[in-house]
Amino acid sequence: MREKIIYIFAAAAAVLLVRNLYVILLVLPDEAQQGPIYRIMFFHIPSAITCFIGFLAAGISSAIYLATKNPRNDAIAVASTEVSLAFATVVLATGSIWARIIWGIWWTWDARLTSMLVCWLLYASYLMLRRAIDEPTQRAKFSAVLSIFAFSDVIIVWKSIEWWRTQHPGPVLSIRTGGGQMNPAMEAAIYWNLLALILFGLVLVLVRLRQEEMRREIDGMRQMAHAI
């Protein structure tokens, strides 16, 4: 059943991504001030939202693990973190490319950029911590605590442009601005690509979750074999 769901979501994501690329590259006009480079936001913004959703899922799963000690919740947390960290890497990369063209620099220690880099480092540390601890229960417990702590920085990233004066552009989606900031066709393209990336990310999480479950099953059988 899970395999069918993965195939369905993967097919839907592929169709949407092809459709979105066509619209973004060939249908939408250049932005008046930024020119063609503005098209990078159709991947930058959805990737950011997708990674935040994934980090939220990891934090919730980690909290549930601490309450229940159910290994499946730990598996969901690590799968969500790995996929979300990949999307966070896309966010940093696309943001740097945009900054190089518009600002003339690859990087600046702006509050939004810096907090996003800290976010990336925290979740990378989560994966490093898991590799450093061999005992499964201790690994899951300490990783869960770090995941919950790391999510506090996601909130800082999200609110940074409201809390501090930053070079980073302000909110553009009407859901946050109340409307009027962006061409409706451009905003619709962002939402369509957000849907595609969420589906794609969900496929990756489900595949990674299955791999993690299989790994744990193999480890369990090895332990039983050694006990015999």
Question: Cα separation of 178 and 197, whole Å?
Answer: 24
At residue 175, does pLDDT exceed 80? Answer: no
In-domain check, residue 15: yes
What pLDDT is stored for residue 180 in this prediction? 59
pLDDT at 19: 97
Average pLDDT over residues 9-29: 96
What total of structural domains would you count in the chain? 1
User: Does 203 score more than 90 pLDDT?
Assistant: yes
The predicted structure's pLDDT at residue 174: 72
Position 38 pLDDT exceeds 70: yes
Contact 159, 152 (CB under 8 A): no
Reply yes or no on whether the pLDDT at 117 is more than 90. yes
In a domain, 133, yes or no: yes
- Assess if residue 152 is contained within a domain: yes
Alpha carbon distance 182, 29 (integer Å):
13
CATH number of the domain within which 70 lies: 1.20.120
The answer to whether position 23 is within a domain reads yes
Tell me what the pLDDT averaged over the chain comes to.
Answer: 92
Share of the chain above pLDDT 70, in %: 93
* Helix-helix angle 41-68:136-163, to 10 degrees: 140
Is 136 a domain residue? yes
Tell me whether residue 174 is in a domain: no
Tokens representing residue 203 in the block: 């496929």
Residue 153: which domain range? 2-27+37-166+185-227
With respect to residue 176, please indicate whether it lies within any of the assigned structural domains.
no
Evaluate whether residue 179 is within a structural domain: no
Predicted local distance difference test score (pLDDT) of residue 194? 97
Reported as a pLDDT band with limits 50, 70 and 90, residue 27 is very high
